[in-house]
Structure 1
């Protein structure tokens, strides 16, 4: 403004000079002392000076017209200087009139600039006044922008991505060990990641208002001010949305010391949040930015990245903290969930953030870094699982010889891992390379290709069996030791046969472990019943056997059987199929020998020595392995 005030007015002086030259030329043309050539030159000069005078009058007319237009537009803009109400709240007519006035000021500026440069004060003074009005108008439009964004933001609860906190978690306790039917539910929840869901972030009817303000400020070279105000308002709005979604901010230290039950819920919430934020909120925010900044080059991508930065970094920092926490088996499923959701969102991140903007490039790089950290953490946690099984030590035998919690835990754990088969196969692609040569038998039966996941799963079950063998040595009763091993091996076989694990273990593994199961059954029969059955055998000629021998054999058998009954009714074989097999195996062995001895009772009149009939004995055998200790009461009295 100071430069404008220092201009010296010379326009009027120029007019006087031109008039003086014209008068002098007229006098010289009428003089007798001037030759024809000089008269011709004087005539041309007079004509030229006349043209200059006419042009000057014309420019003065244009300047006056521009001044009149400027004053009219300025009045329409300045009258809002003392008006505290908002222009767009006053109605479309007022808003349209204001924007036309701003446009008129721009046209006046262009007109003034197009006039020939001279030393006239009026032209430059008008330019300075126009710039002052534009400054005021831009400040007012910035206020209008902030007001429109604040009053017209939309809040909504996303129903396209419902939050589900169900499913089971692989914590080593009885609750996880006993879960049998939750895998289908867990799988269905993992698959609920929808496509992009675009919503309106502001009321649609104000989009034209925002675009008109953006165009006016862009034309006036105030796009930086517009962008800054827009980013601040939309960033605050996004923070409010995240508050509605109950997105929490935690330090890495807090997350590393948090109880697993609490942390587990927060991870599940994070998985839901990052899908909602990226595929709903940020996708919708990007559309809003594209609509407002259309035609403004990279401003849309730059502003969108700035708006997204705080929420994205908050989400990424949480994920990084989880990747850094201590590796524990129960975290693996959540790590894989986090890994898979980021894998699914890689394309979305590529579409949202541009490499051409500094913040967009940074956010994209941070997202990929977290993806790699989660993959490393998940891989290491899975590989460490086998060694954790080996370190599981018991100091007392498992009650009743039943299926140990560790067996249920490991088999349910590995069964659940098959849900993540594609991710694990990819993560383990470089693992066990030495063990999976072309001749390897560890094949995935689905595609008959060497499979690192199959190698690791079979390695885990091998370590489990080794651990179970050590636990079985805690039993003082050899028969119970083999019942324990049968229970656990049978459970493992059934889990493999009845689930997706079969594709990774194969038929040969099942046959091998069935042979192992049969071997333990044979040892059980030998340890438990061989000595008992020997009591029923008669030495030498049966017809010459004294009655006292029969009496002693029955008595000894009854004592031995009752002791076995008392002990083994308390043993637990929970699987009906395995329990029936053991009952049949026992009956075939014991009843046959007992029946042979009983058939001799009439010949030697020994019926009064028989405490249990064959039917009694058959029923009593069915009481074995029920997990409820009992003692025998004779069905017949002597």
Structure 2
């Protein structure tokens, strides 16, 4: 550059228009060479897919960055700042787009109209979006901003503007994927987990967005709106899920007092939902904080202001209690409740997350409730049989055994509990009758005990 300045000065010193024209031509030629050199230097730099750092092909990264800074400074000083900035932005935007594309498996810019995509299309995109968004917002953008300030550090305003021009569109495209996932999910319960994942990722990267792009930027405003929308969508889906539970209809009762499919479905769903305890806590805290503006018509007693998992378990249990009314037999009603409440409790105990959410007191109370239903079932089934006394007791016992052979237990544990309770209630009472009327034709107490021991062998 010193030789260039000397040549230009010599030409200008000769006087006349010819010298100025020649000096301008020489300067343009030099700037073209510098611009080409800038392009070559920039083409050596790539994003590290692990940490988002910017590196070259060898252990000369610092030297390359310094060389780029010198070239940019020379071009800016010579009045070729526009060309310098344009070249720099073009290369860096392409590199950032390539890095994001490699992680996503697609280019967000190819799907500018996300609202026209189907859920399956969006779902396929959002699976890789989490890693790409984390890479871009927490690593790549931060390193890109530092790089811009390293190159254009002489003018911080220029450096910030260059960075904004490089990153803003990519940031907006990444947010568009999240927005589309929330919008297309609707209120389908199985899609809620995708929405919660999006909310969790957005909440995780928001501090980086604020730090790197700015808390007053359009990107930050849009990210905050996306978080609110994901929270509102999650609350709507859970409210709809609760409403679905309450509206489930079944013309026939579950055969033999078995576990109802609704119980298994809801509890399996809640086991998965429990893994999102922290995200749900943030969402409902957000609702309480926003109150009138963020939660629609939520009231203090609405699902949006209570623990949703605790509430959904309570709703399920109330629904099961209503379903039990379809049985004409009081014993079968109690058996149905015993099986289903046992299934609920077992699912809770089998999930450390769910067990922690509902708490030890709930688990203790639930065990007692199961036992109450078991005792009620045995009492209703056998009370009248044993009360008849006399020689009719044996026939009544046989008839009741035949009836209960069609009854089922939720699992081996419940079968053991039912058999133990029945044997404890029936065998001693039958033994008294047997001794009192000890006819040789009667079944022995051991026979009755063996028959009870074969009940509830069928597991549903």
TM-score band, normalised by the shorter chain? 0.7 to 0.9
- Is the CA contact (8 Å cut-off) linking 2:48 and 2:54 kept in structure 1? no
The 1:299/1:626 distance shift into structure 2, 3 A limit, reads farther
CA contact (8 A) 2:394 2:442 kept: yes
2:386 is matched with which residue: 504, 521, 533?
533
Match of 2:172 in 1: 313
Q: Pick closer, same or farther for the CA change 1:584–1:226 going to 2, 3 Å.
A: same
Q: Distance in 1 between matches of 2:27 and 2:129?
A: 47
SS of corresponding position for 1:491: helix
Distance change in 2, residues 1:521/1:556 (3 Å): closer
* 1:543-572 Cα deviation digits (max 9, x unpaired): xxxxxxx4x5434433x144134313xx13
Deviations 1:77-135 (A, max 9, x none): xxxxxxxxxxxxxxxxxxxxxx44345457x39x96xx9xxxxx716654443233212
Distance apart, 1:621 and its partner CA: 2.0
Q: Distance between the aligned counterparts of 1:566 and 1:289, measured in 2?
A: 79
CA separation in 2, counterparts of 1:420 and 1:104? 71
- Aligned partners of 2:46 and 2:162: how far apart in 1? 19
In 2, the alpha carbon distance for the partners of 1:315 and 1:322 equals 11
3-state secondary structure, aligned to 1:245: helix
The answer as to 2:135 corresponding to 1:298 is no
Structure 1: gaps spanning 5 or more residues: 1-98, 116-120, 159-196, 437-441, 443-450, 539-549, 630-638
Distance (whole Å) between structure 2 residues aligned to residue 424 and residue 623 of structure 1:
51
Query: Where does residue 574 of structure 1 map in the other structure?
Result: 411
| Alignment pair present for 1:588 and 2:420 | no
C-alpha deviation, 1:507, in angstroms: 6.3
3-state SS of 1:298 partner: helix
* Alpha-carbon distance between aligned partners in 1 of 2:256 and 2:132, rounded to the nearest angstrom: 46
- CA shift, 1:381, in A, is 2.4
Q: Render the CA deviation track for 1:392-426: whole Å, top value 9, x for unaligned.
A: 22343334433333223333434444442332441
Going from structure 1 to structure 2, the CA distance change for 1:137 and 1:236 (only over 3 Å counts) comes to same
The yes-or-no answer on 1:342 pairing with 2:194 is no
- Check whether the contact 1:573–1:626 (CA below 8 A) recurs between aligned residues: no
Q: Is the 8 A contact 2:334 2:376 kept in 1?
A: yes
Distance 1:424 1:246 in 2: 27
Counterpart Cα distance in 2 of 1:269 and 1:396: 45
2:114 to 216, 232, 252: 252
Instruction: Answer whether contact 2:171 2:219 (CA < 8 A) is retained.
Output: yes
Paired position in structure 2 for 1:101: 3
Aligned to 1:153: 45
1:206 aligns with 2:64: yes
Cα contact 1:411–1:492 (8 A) shared by 2: yes
Of 242, 248, 263, which residue of structure 2 is paired with 1:386?
242
Distance in 2 (CA, whole Å) between partners of 1:503 and 1:521 is 26
1:145 Cα deviation (Å)? 1.9
* Matched residue, 1:471: 323
User: 94, 99, 107: which one pairs with 1:241?
Assistant: 99
1:36-47 to structure 2, matched below 5 A, reads: none
CA distance in 2, matches of 1:388, 1:268: 28
Cα offset, 1:254, TM superposition = 4.7
Among 435, 442, 448, the alignment partner of 1:610 is: 442
Contact map agreement 1:247 1:273 (CA 8 A) in 2: no
CA distance in 2, matches of 1:557, 1:590: 9
1:564: which partner in 2?
A: 403
- Larger helix fraction of residues: 2
1:503-561: CA deviations, max 9, x gaps? Answer: 655566556655654553344223321232234x23xxxxxxxxxxx4x5434433x14
Q: Would you say 1:434 and 2:323 are equivalent positions?
A: no
SS at match of 2:432: helix
Aligned twin of 1:176: none
CA distance in structure 1 between the partners assigned to 2:242 and 2:4 by the alignment: 73
Alpha-carbon distance in structure 2 between the residues aligned to 1:324 and 1:394: 32
Counterpart for residue 224 of structure 1: 82
1:143-165 superposed Cα distances (whole Å, 9 cap, x missing partner):
22223323x1336543xxxxxxx
Contact 2:47 2:96 (C-alpha < 8 Å) held by counterparts: no
How many residue pairs get aligned? The number is: 440
Aligned-residue CA RMSD (Å): 3.4
Is the 8 Å Cα contact of residues 201 and 285 (structure 1) preserved in structure 2? no
Which residues of 2 match residues 614-629 of structure 1 at below 5 A? 614-627=445-458
- Say whether the 8 Å CA contact 1:329–1:385 is kept in structure 2: yes
State the alpha-carbon separation in 1 of the partners of residues 7 and 453 from structure 2.
102
Q: CA deviation at 1:230?
A: 1.2
Match of 1:329 among 185, 189, 200: 189
Match of 1:142 in 2: 35
Q: Distance in 2 between matches of 1:141 and 1:229?
A: 11
In 1, the alpha carbon distance for the partners of 2:258 and 2:126 equals: 35
- CA 1:573–1:155: 2 relative to 1, 3 Å: same
1:281 aligns with 2:140: yes
Residue aligning to 1:524: 377
Mark the CA change 1:213 to 1:222 in structure 2 (over 3 Å): closer, same or farther.
Answer: same
Deviations 1:357-408 (A, max 9, x none): xxx9232332222222222222332333321221222343334433333223
2:271 is aligned with 1:410: no
1:264, 1:369 → 2: CA distance?
20
Paired position in structure 2 for 1:491: 343
| Partner Cα distance (1:461, 1:157) in 2 | 43
Partner of 2:226: 370
After TM superposition, the score normalised by the length of structure 2 is: 0.83
The alignment's TM-score, normalised by the length of structure 1, stands at 0.61
Give the Cα separation in 1 of the matches to 2:142 and 2:250.
53
Inter-partner Cα distance in structure 2 for 1:581 and 1:264:
45
1:490–1:413 distance in 2 versus 1, CA, 3 Å: same
CA 1:401–1:306 in 2, change beyond 3 Å: closer, same or farther?
farther
CA gap of 1:626–1:424, structure 2 versus 1, over 3 A, is farther
